[in-house]
Structure 1
Amino acid sequence: MELREIDLNLLVVFNELLRLRRVSAVAETLGTSQPAISNALNRLRKLLGDELFLRTSKGMVPTPFAENLAEPIGYALGAIHNTLNAQSVFEPATSARAFTIAMTDIGEIYFLPDLMKRLSEVAPGVTISTVRNHTVNLREEMESGRVDLAIGFMPDLKAGFFQRRLFRQRYVCLFRQGHPLAREGMTLKSFGSAEHVAIVAAGTGHSMVDEVIQRAGVPRQVRLHVPHFVAVGHILQTTDLIAVVPQAYAERTLKPFGLETAPCPVKIPDIVINVLWHARNNREPANQWLRQVVFEEFSR
């Protein structure tokens, strides 16, 4: 097959069907009719000799052949888009660029206050939106350019991505000031006898904490499970519960909530916090600028 045989618009339809999975949604996004999208899909099926998408109760599901095409087509379209819209320089002081960054709630607590302060000084027109890395298909969103950067512990983003380490961090035990453990010290015995709040943090690397503690054979009394970290400081402030949290989160909650930390008596591997970006944005000036700001502000 020669490239001259393929209409680039067909690949745009293919890419949007991968993302949205519904003909009606693609038609609305591209500003055309549903019959036009169906016609484009039929043309692409004939060209490639595959059904590409199958209708199911959950929408249009890609075939294995379509899934194999997803990454290279997404990358190629992104490269073409960036080339056609490329700027030789990025001027942060006058830019009104809107960036989207994927991070967890811990990331928002730790990174956003300092990042927004820095941007107000050097790029007052730039805006930031955040998305949770586990509530979107992060790989697809970054391949398509809808998410510019990801910050955090994200070991699943490998092929097609660049990353730069910001820092390593350990896990610590967190509890209120005046807690009996503040006087007695944190031992395996006291850790096992204390009542815990466990943070599920689905879709993030932090889920390994419970697995490591369980494999170590250390019993603990989990009194409360919560899906994220946002409320943990409030909970610990007024109870005798303890939590095992990343040190970056602990640093941001000690003073506002009157908390203390102690080394965790269970050996939990350190985690590496990275800033990650897709290869399609590697040379894009605005993306280069933002990740450099993040690195200067938070690397250690």
Structure 2
Amino acid sequence: MNLLSKIDIRQLQVLKALLEKRNLSKVADQLGISQQAVSEQLKKLRHNFDDRLFIRTSNGVVPTPFAQSLQTKVTRALASIEDLLIAEEFDPKTISTTFTICSTDLEQTVILPKFLTLLRKHAPKVKLAVKTLSLDDIDSSLLTGKVDLVITNPMFAPNNYPSTTLYQEQYLCVASKDNQDIAVQSSISDVAKIPQLVVSPSRGEFSGAANKWFADQGHPRNVVLSVPTFTAAKACIAHSDLCGFIPARLLPDPTLKIISLDKQVPGFDVIAVWHQRSSQDKLHTYIRELLMQAASE
């Protein structure tokens, strides 16, 4: 059997104390255990090391040459174990690492600039890698550690991962400022007839977040274009006869006009998602706090 599997920390503590005090009674007082317990641990030590270790005398015990050769090693080993148990003081200004965030261009536009300002001020040595959101890779990216945190809509997030809401977003209907066929005051039924686009990060779907809501109103919409980003969506709307729904924080836009509707299209939450292993990590917790601060501003 491996010697490491037979020796526990208590035995090493007793060995270290005996090498220093050379008296079983004093060691028992120091460690807060009985003298019998010290004797039992010494018996185990002798068996494990196959050496008498200490010789009894009228004044206590005297270490054998082998025991004396262990003193520096035992002291160093216990010190290393104690270092493992001492929590290092967290100072964001001294942390030097790379933190990876995955998001759509919405969050990159709305949160990232403010977050970066806070990060550069409070944790200047942390490098930030921002990746474009890939809906189908969220779970695996967090699981493998390729991504530290994902900012997304709850409908796309794995439901078994911890998350926090950063802010609530509202959709606004927009069309090109030059589109005279769409009135700035319109009904849901009128808008549903207009060719529309949707934003579908990485999937190219035509469903869109508001499709079910339109259908529930009895007015299925006519989606003819799917783009991966809101940046592309705004550009396409500005140069076509299409309309679409853009998050309010990305507006106003001089190339677009906002269409006021008789019913409000449901908004959505923007959340931060991470893997469970990072929940108590001090840097990760600090990053989430900075994101919350940036979102609140």
Identity of aligned residues (%): 20
User: What letter corresponds to residue 167 of structure 1 in structure 2?
Assistant: Y
CA drift of 1:87 comes to 6.5
Asked if the contact 2:135/2:201 (under 8 Å) is kept, the reply is no
TM-score (norm 1): 0.60
Matched to 2:267, the amino acid is D
1:207 aligns with 2:204: no
Structure 1 residues 148-168: Cα deviation after superposition (integer angstroms, max 9, x where no partner): 111121344222x22221222
- Higher CA-based Rg: 2
Give distance in 1, aligned partners of 2:96 and 2:102.
20
Give the deviation of 1:204 after TM superposition: 10
How many angstroms does 1:275 deviate by? 1.6
Gaps of 5+ in 2: 5-82
Residues 176, 113 of structure 1: alpha-carbon distance in 2 compared, 3 angstrom cutoff: farther
Please list every run of 5 or more consecutive structure 1 residues that lacks an aligned counterpart in the other structure: 5-82
- Cα distance between partner residues in 2 of 1:181 and 1:90: 59
Q: For 1:125, what is the secondary structure of its paired residue?
A: coil
What residue number does 1:108 align with? 108
Write the distance in 2 (CA, Å) between the matches of 1:142 and 1:217. Answer: 39
- Alpha-carbon distance between aligned partners in 2 of 1:207 and 1:183, rounded to the nearest angstrom: 23
Number of residue pairs matched by the alignment: 215
Describe the shift of the 1:117–1:260 C-alpha distance in structure 2 as closer, same or farther (beyond 3 A).
farther
Deviations 1:89-117 (A, max 9, x none): 43332333210112123222222222223
Counterpart of 1:262?
Answer: 259
Equivalent residues of 1:170, 1:271 under 8 A apart? yes
Shift of 1:172: 1.6
Structure-2 separation of matches of 1:200 and 1:276: 19
Residues 94, 281 of structure 1: CA spacing in aligned structure 2 closer, same or farther, 3 A cutoff? same
What are the superposed Cα offsets for residues 55-95 of structure 1, whole Å, 9 maximum, x if unpaired? xxxxxxxxxxxxxxxxxxxxxxxxxxxx98x9724333233
Tell me whether 1:195 sits opposite 2:192 in the alignment: no
| CA displacement at 1:178 relative to structure 2 | 4.9
Counterparts of 1:123-162 in structure 2, within 5 Å, are 123-134=123-134, 137-155=137-155, 156-159=157-160, 161-162=161-162
- Give 1:72-91 correspondences, 5 Å limit: 88-91=88-91
Equivalent in the alignment of 2:60:
none
Q: Deviations over 1:178-226 (max 9, x none)?
A: 5437754121243134332233335699833233323433144434332
2-structure distance, mates of 1:179, 1:275: 37
1:299 counterpart letter in structure 2: S
Match of 1:242 in 2: 243
Aligned to 1:277: 274
Tell me, in whole angstroms, the C-alpha distance in 1 between the residues paired with 2:114 and 2:169: 18
In 1, distance between residues paired with 2:120 and 2:167?
24
Asked whether the equivalents of residues 196 and 221 of structure 2 are also in contact (C-alpha less than 8 Å), the reply is yes
Partner Cα separation in structure 2 for residue 147 and residue 158 of structure 1: 17
Give per-residue Cα distances to partners, 1:237-288, cap 9 Å, x unaligned. Answer: 233321123333x33xx24x43232355565433111122222111111101
Amino acid at match of 2:158: L
